[in-house]
Chains A and B, each alone.
Chain A
């Protein structure tokens, strides 16, 4: 029973390569061909995930952050979706060139994913032990008994009380937080190099969210897994990510280390986003009159009818003629700090 989930035998190797890219997304284009036209959900996005780090990917609904993740695992529903361009480099190959069976050997094994709503991603007719064991048996060729022992061990790793008993439970018998722990146990059961977490705590209460985020930090330290943390919650990113990618309307608009992104952001969208969130410590200080939040006027453009030029320009207070005429290139303004804005240099000079 003590198969022992040894911390990834590659953990030392990962540590030695800490900071090297394990996953590279290059100029990815994922479009949806619908009756109302082509929806450019992801339109030329590039970013990399480095060994052992947590990369935060933030943006509002429809910005393409989840579609990017699904594209990495080639899980975009087709039709209507199709990856129409770009490359995804992982372990020396381009995932977009692999056959379906080659992809199956990677999914849930070398790259795994956890989703927002664990109830819809767990099979309600199978015990959680069976579901965790299934992935282990498939990818690691263990017998059913050994796989079940390993499942118990994984449940213990994610701090589920009485794992020997809970391994026989069905998903509906567990609370939301417990189900998300099961999802994490399943995702980490094969020691993946990359874990994609898509809004992993959005459906949970804050005290449970704090438990799950702490668990993810602990497991990352033990296993050395690189985490791609996709979320709309800037607070979750600020407290967990090493680096951050900000997306807007299908494109990456800014990328920086977490400290820079939160203390000296350059893109007007990032700055607007940070200004529009009520902050607990500030809110408590406000007098009876309460300050107004900084608004980003208007709304996200529809993806099949994007404005010409910079897609953020219609909502941007700094927009000029140049912005409405042409989309700005992504430029590295400081080491590791990339921004797609014609006025970035000027904005960087102004403190937040």
Chain B
């Protein structure tokens, strides 16, 4: 059987920058004075993917699906519960803080909330220059010049280096966060909802900036967001997550043209499209709420809301399989080959 690891092995022979194999991150729920574990949140429950150099992998899903935890665990800001993280062929899963230091330079993060992720007591110049100080790279005038160059590159006037975060608008703060992430010439940038707190006209500026910087510095992005339209715009390939697992992964055109997972199909149809002609399109409206990752449904996590669910879905979790070359989906519907458009199982129902 083609296991989930298949997604980690790209077919084009290029060594991927990042490979993640069967990554798991579980958080214990602690209760009482002695903080005894009373349960487990299965935030990330067996996720595999790779990112090529210069590529953007979008990671999309609704709140609580584990997409942000994947980003943080990949950078080892959280210790993985199980699985492997491989950077340029080297397994860094067990690396301690000291061993991680050279990797930290290559892997940076941009956060959602530019208000919460900048220290209010540091000037913008100090914030952007801090990575140089931590890694003891440039000093004095040289550091100032490099910070000024970074300011210009992200569209901020270098005179603003002495201003403090509260003096900037939301969009400008996000530019500061981007400048800080770029300071050490990283290879991988994880963006955790980097544009979702911004107004649309500012959002477009930041999306364009992120794309320009990628072309200029050959960056790889893991772009984590809930907005499918933004994710598709920025990404080359997209992974859709639902309750801790990747349910579909493929290039963005195939994802849009031929969604092979019922959840992706519903998600695509739920996103409002800013066009008048979009009114007449058919919608799949899902019933119910996203279940909790504390006590996920047995079998396929999606079966309770799935219009196509049959008996097997309630018992057996489907593996992420390559249904069409390069197009992975975790759904029992495709057991006997590609089914698109998805069709409801006939009499087999409820058997």
Contact = CB atoms under 8 A, between A and B. Distances in A.
A259 B276 contact: yes
B212 to A, nearest CB: 8
Given A206-B228, A207-B62, A278 B273 contact: no
B303 to A, nearest CB: 15
B208 A293 contact: yes
Interface string A231-264: 0111111111000000000000000001101110
Contacts of B140: none
Contacts of A240: 272
Given A234-B200, A238-B276, A280-B273, A295 B205 contact: yes
Contacts of B270: 206-207, 209-210
Contact of B257 (A261, A272, A284): A284
Nearest to A285: B253
Contact of A206 (B226, B233, B236): B226
A277 B229 CA distance: 8
Contact of A286 (B203, B204, B233, B274): B233
A140 interface: no
Instruction: Give the most central of B212, B276, B278: most A CB within 10 Å.
Output: B276
B304 interface: no
B253 A284 contact: yes
Contacts of A284: 232, 252-253, 255-257
B255 to A, nearest CB: 7
Given A60-B199, A293-B208, A278 B233 contact: yes
The A contact surface, by secondary structure, is helix
Contacts of B272: 209, 213, 233, 235-236, 238-240
Nearest to A208: B289
Interface stretch (B22-30, B279-287, B313-321, B343-351): B279-287
Nearest to A290: B211
A295 B200 contact: no
Interface residues of B, number: 47
A97 B285 CA distance: 44
B232 A262 contact: no
A226 interface: no
A239 B257 contact: no
B200 A206 contact: no
A262 B275 contact: yes
B285 A211 contact: yes
A278 B286 contact: no
A272 B203 CA distance: 12
A277 B226 contact: no
A292 B271 CA distance: 21
A238 B232 contact: no
B266 interface: yes
Contact of B204 (A175, A236, A277): A277
A273 B201 contact: yes
A332 B228 CA distance: 37
A172 interface: no
Interface of A: 60-61, 175, 177-178, 205-211, 213-214, 232-240, 258-259, 261-263, 272-281, 283-286, 288, 290, 292-297, 299-300
20 contacts: A207-B286, A207-B290, A210-B269, A235-B274, A235-B278, A236-B272, A238-B276, A258-B276, A278-B229, A278-B232, A278-B233, A279-B229, A280-B228, A280-B256, A286-B252, A293-B233, A294-B204, A295-B204, A299-B202, A300-B201
Given A280-B273, A284-B232, 20 more contacts: A60-B200, A61-B199, A175-B289, A207-B267, A207-B285, A208-B289, A209-B272, A211-B285, A214-B283, A214-B285, A235-B278, A238-B274, A239-B273, A274-B274, A278-B233, A279-B229, A281-B273, A283-B256, A290-B211, A290-B234
Interface of B: 62-63, 169, 171, 199-205, 207-208, 211-212, 226-230, 232-234, 236, 252-253, 255-257, 266-276, 278-279, 283, 285-286, 289-290
The 5 closest A-B pairs by CB, nearest first: A235-B272, A284-B256, A276-B204, A278-B233, A283-B232
